[in-house]
Amino acid sequence: MFARFRRKRLNPVLRDLLQETHLSLNDFIYPLFIKSGEGIKKEVDSMPGVFQMSIDEVIKECEVLKSLGIYSIILFGIPDIKDSVGSDAMCEHGIIASSIRAIKEAHPDMFVVTDLCFCEYTDHGHCGVLDPILETVDNDITLTNLGKQAVVHAQAGADMIAPSGMMDGMITTIREALNGNGFSHIPIMSYSTKFSSAYYGPFRDVAESSPSFGDRRSYQMNPANRKEAILESLADEEEGADILMVKPALAYLDIVRDIKESSSLPLAVYNVSGEYSMLKMAGKAGVIDYEKVMMETMIGFKRAGADIIISYHAKEVAQLLKK
Ligand code: PBG
Ligand code: ZN
């Protein structure tokens, strides 16, 4: 006697009946990059299909997203003026606050998540205020500013705040700032386990956020560390995060599974820019069947334990799911 697994693979209807993991339109958050101006829709060379857009274009884009069944977006702002602290991010007239207000006015049914960090807003491209002696981000001064930024986002109408800077104590600080300003109902999705990854390369072109010196290894995690990856997420749960995240996704699916098993909180993965571009470029080169590889990758995220997928592929996935 031996097992006959193939008995259950013969009939396509039975195959579907027995499928263990499913993708849904509800799983996705779509990233948008916003610049000031009007009528701007500029494709990024390193990320075909991804654009820097002005607010009016983003409002049109939301219409397209809704027609595809996507109601969740995560916003990244590209300010006109950068300075040493990233003031634009904390200003109620800054690019991100203005965008949130305009989007929520035009599309109250859109769920607007904001990436909370300073790297797009600082002239040095690091994720907070610099400590001149250590030549890296000063954790605790940056915390104070993250609290301010969170309140500005919430006041503008953000539905969920997603801090991505990997500062210690960021969830405690942001939770307290939100609660103290009447926003105890606003959830925090923490980029709780974020690795220092070369997969962010193309993103830094779109978001114009490359560090002008050094790298982010003194705040983002070492890709080689598994136990620390779990501790990072559990610490954010302890601090009151509502949703955890692993970023990047593809090379870290073991970590996704580990965190899923260590915490009962919902878990997001960020299918980052480099992962997107690899599939796009390989598809364009005719090396892979782009759509099939994309769907297989998405199922892999879900199977590993992701509840939410933040992905530049979301629109294309939605089109395929609708078929
Ligand atoms: C900002 C931030 C980054 C990404 C999301 N938020 C870049 C970084 O940490 O350098 C990367 C997203 C992507 O690569 O798609 N801290
Ligand atoms: Zn950052």
* Most informative mutation of 120, 164, 309 for ligand 1 (most atoms within 8 A of CB): 164
Distance, in Å, from the CA atom of 146 to the CA atom of 150, rounded to the nearest integer, reads 6
What confidence score (pLDDT) does residue 136 get?
94
Task: Give me the DSSP letters along 18-33.
Answer: T------GGGEEEEEE
Residue 158 belongs to domain spanning: 23-322
Q: Decide if 165 is inside a domain.
A: yes
Q: Is residue 266 part of a domain?
A: yes
Q: Sign of the CA dihedral 218, 270, 100, 241?
A: negative
Residue pLDDT tens, the chain, 323 long: 999 999 999 999 999 999 999 999 999 999 999 999 999 999 999 999 999 999 999 999 999 999 999 999 999 999 999 999 999 999 999 999 999 999 999 999 999 999 999 999 999 999 999 999 998 999 999 999 999 999 999 999 999 999 999 999 999 999 999 999 999 999 999 999 999 999 999 999 899 889 999 999 999 999 999 999 999 999 999 999 999 999 999 999 999 999 999 999 999 999 999 999 999 999 999 999 999 999 999 999 999 999 999 999 999 999 999 98
**Ligand 1 centroid distance, CA of 15 (Å):** 38
Amino acid found at 37:
G
Cis geometry, peptide bond prior to residue 248 (ω within 30 degrees of 0): yes
Q: Which residue type, as a one-letter code, is found at position 306? A: A
For residue 48, the model assigns a pLDDT of 97
State the helix-helix crossing angle for 227-239 and 253-262, rounded to 10 degrees.
40
List all residues whose CB is within 6 A of at least one atom of ligand 1. 115, 117, 119, 127, 164-165, 200, 203-204, 272-273
Residue 12 resides in a domain? no
Please give the distance, rounded to the nearest whole angstrom, from the Cα atom of residue 314 to the centre of ligand 2.
Answer: 23
Active site residue 8: no
Evaluate whether residue 7 is within a structural domain.
no
173: nearest Cα among 108, 128, 121, 136: 128
Q: Calculate how far, in angstroms, residue 9's C-alpha sits from the geometric centre of ligand 2.
A: 46
- Residue nearest atom 2 in ligand 1 by C-alpha distance: 164
Q: Which of 35, 194, 260, 280 is catalytic?
A: 194
We report the CATH number of the domain holding residue 49 as 3.20.20.70
Longest dimension (CA), the chain: 72
Q: Does 13 reside within a domain? A: no
Tokens of 146: 């993250």
Atom of ligand 1 nearest to the CA of 209: 10
Domain membership flag for residue 17: no
310 phi and psi angles, rounded to 5 deg: -90, 120
| pLDDT of res. 323 | 85
Task: Look at the chain and report how many structural domains it folds into.
Answer: 1
DSSP three-state, residue 218: coil
41 labelled catalytic: no
In this structure, the residue with its CA closest to atom 11 of ligand 1 is 200
